[in-house]
Amino acid sequence: MAKKKNKFVSAFEQFGRSFLLPVSVLPGAGIIKGIGTAFSNSNTLKMFPVLKNDIVQFIMKFLIVLGDTAFNNLPIIFAVGVAVGLAKREKGSAALSGLLGFIVLHYVLNFLLVQSHKLVDTSKLSSNEAKLALSNAMQTKVLGIQTMDLSVFGGIIVGIVVYFVHKWAVKVQLPTVIGFFSGPRFVPIATIVIMSAVATGLFFVWPPVQKGISVLSIFILKSGPIGTFLYGLVERALLPFGLHHGLNWPVRTTELGGAWEIGGQRVVGTINAYLASLADPNVQHVDPSITRFNGGKFVYFMFGLSGAAYAMYKTADEKKRKVVGSLLFAAAGTSFLTGITEPIEFTFLFVAPILYVVHAFLAGSALFVMHMLGAGVATPTGHGFINWVIYGVLQGPKTAWWLVPIVGVVYFFIYYIVFRFMIVKFDLKTPGREDSDEVKLSNKHEARAKLGVEIATIGKEEPKATDITVAGDDEVMETVQKTPEGIRKQATELIKAHGGPDNIEAVDACITRLRINVKDKSVVDQERITTKLGAMGFAESDMQMQSIYGSHANVLKMEIQDMLGMEE
């Protein structure tokens, strides 16, 4: 039974990770659009009249258009991105098939709407009237095609269908006469046929599904602050297993997160609605229901986890504080500035799992409090200081950005007091409180015993990981992020630590984790990965080994793939 559960979790995790490729476009596009809206909104122009210069405003409007190219085309980005993210090989064929499948989907839906006389005629309507008529009929225009409004779900569906078609068709060998079309070349052909059938099915199935989503969306919106708290709690609880992506992005980009009328247009998804609110000069204050799942994250990403780190530092043995502080403060600083929380969260997750439970509840409460206070600040991704300035401070009073530091300082002390009390009261072996002289975190077997789970266990993190300087024959990390030679040497050692080339089946990476699938996990040297090869943490999900390297993970992925001759 456990084996089936592992497969389900692994599949869901893979599905969630496939979102990383399409959403990786959003931070850059969001920053570009954020700067454009920040320096062109009416509040900013009143404060700084010099910005009313025609050339400056032309540039700002140009930046907004650039940002909109991503946010207005999320469905097709997801169609291609999910297909590529799920495909294990011949990713070029998967990308082409994802694009082709998306176009087929909407051309077939348009054809069926015309033939069934359900296509809304907007030729004699004004722009606003046409938008309203299309919205009421659950129709929209995609790439100039009038079709059913599937929103981002359409792209996700295409990506998943193309993945299964690709997985089967890429292995098909056609008769010699038409053998040229075998393998990767057969995938787009098969996609056209199968996607047309899927589109026909969606024509009949989607209307009731859409109504169900709308009902669920209304339920989520009406759940109020309690629903906000539960979302924050569950989202943090899913993080250790890599399943939080599957929760976050449907809420941020589809109707599951809600639907709002902004500037005369119906906008779905919390991030889409937030950016539309920033761009609309008539919006004086961003609706807190838009930012309810987002704004509170600034509080615990920037301040709460810093308080937790300080509590662990203050409760460490005085002789070990210097070593402990180098790890904890670096991790806390990363979380504060960029919103990358995994180093600090994984520091205490399995060493003292009760602290992570407390953290999950406090995270949910932060979302609850910010929702109750009417905070209107959010970001497409990365809830750190940088994005808080761009998406909050620079957008003016409509975001109520000042609530973040006010509530944040309170949460810094809440986290500090609660964590310090728990650590001292229950004598938790956080960094620097171990019985041995060596500063270390508990291993994966101890973690499993504490949590009683087998699906995914996080092992240990070595405080010296942030120094990435080791001694003796294992000195492979000294210049790893400075020279190609250092990176290649580290990649070579990681291959050895995972049992050699013959034991490695696949290599991938998300934002912070290097993910290597192996045939035999008993030969993986976790101890070496965390103590000698610079990993800030280690996770095991079935046969996938996950090493936390921060933004360096993707660099290592590409280097290892090149060395092993693996395709993307």
CATH number at residue 551: 3.30.1360.60
With b for 16 or more beta-carbon neighbours within 10 A and e for fewer, the 459-471 pattern comes to bbbbbbbbebebe
- Supply the pLDDT for residue 135: 75
Residue 568: per-residue pLDDT: 54
**Same domain as 201, residue 319:** no
Give the pLDDT confidence of 466-476 residue by residue, as tens digits.
333 333 344 44
Q: Give domain status of residue 124, yes or no.
A: yes
Asked if the structure places residue 80 within a domain, the reply is yes
Q: How many domains does the chain have?
A: 3
Task: Give pLDDT tens digits for 400-446.
Answer: 999 999 999 999 999 999 999 999 998 888 888 876 655 443 333 34
Q: Higher pLDDT residue, 213 or 492?
A: 492
Say whether 540 sits in a helix, a strand or coil.
strand
Please say which residue of 165, 193, 221 terminates a domain: 221
Domain boundary among 204, 221, 238: 221
Backbone φ and ψ for 444, nearest 5 degrees, come out as -65, -30
- Please indicate, yes or no, if residue 470 is contained in any of the structural domains: no
Taking CA atoms, 353 is separated from 290, 429, 452, 457, 545, in Å, by 32, 11, 11, 11, 20
Residues 127 and 16 in one domain: yes
Kindly report, residue by residue over 508-555, the tens digit of the pLDDT: 887 678 899 999 999 999 989 988 888 888 888 788 899 988 767 877
Contact 82, 163 (CB under 8 A): yes
Active site residue 510: yes
Residue 195 scores a pLDDT above 90: yes
Domain boundary (174, 199, 221) is at: 221
The string of pLDDT tens digits covering residues 478-518 is 444 446 788 888 999 999 999 999 999 989 887 678 899 99
- 496 and 447 in a common domain: no
Residue 234 lies in a domain: no
> Is the domain of 331 the same as that of 424?
yes
Answer whether residue 479 is part of any domain. Answer: no
State if pTM tops 0.85: no
Mean pLDDT of 161-180: 83
Rounded Cα gap, residues 138 and 233, in angstroms:
33
- Stretch 316-336: mean pLDDT, rounded? 84
Distance separating alpha carbons of residues 37 and 379, to the nearest angstrom = 13
Is residue 462 one of the residues assigned to a domain?
Answer: no
In this structure, the answer to whether residues 446 and 511 fall within a common structural domain is no
Report residue 557 as tokens: 């992925």
* Angle of helix 353-373 versus helix 224-238 axis, rounded to 10: 150
309 and 179 within one domain: no
The radius of gyration of the chain's CA atoms, rounded to the nearest angstrom, is 25
Mean local confidence (pLDDT), 82-109: 90
Same domain? For 417 and 511 the reply is no
Q: Which residues contact 209 (CB under 8 A, 6 or more apart)?
A: none
Among candidate residues 371, 453, 358, 466, the one with its CA nearest the CA of residue 414: 358
Specify whether 192 is located in the same domain as 317.
Answer: no
Same-domain pairing of 446 and 494? no
| Structure confidence at residue 534 (pLDDT) | 84
- What residue numbers bound the domain in which 28 lies? 7-221
Any domain includes 288: no
CA-to-CA separations, 35 to 302, 337, 460, 551, in angstroms, rounded: 21, 18, 40, 24
Q: Tell me the three-class secondary structure of 142-204, residue by residue.
A: ECCEEEECCHHHHHHHHHHHHHHHHHHHCCCCCCHHHHHHCHHHHHHHHHHHHHHHHHHHHHH
Given the residues 142, 202, 510, 518, the one annotated as active site: 510
Most confident of 282-296, 312-326, 338-352, 431-445: 282-296
Same domain? For 207 and 61 the reply is: yes
369 and 507 assigned to the same domain: no
For residues 427 and 497, membership in a common domain is answered with: no
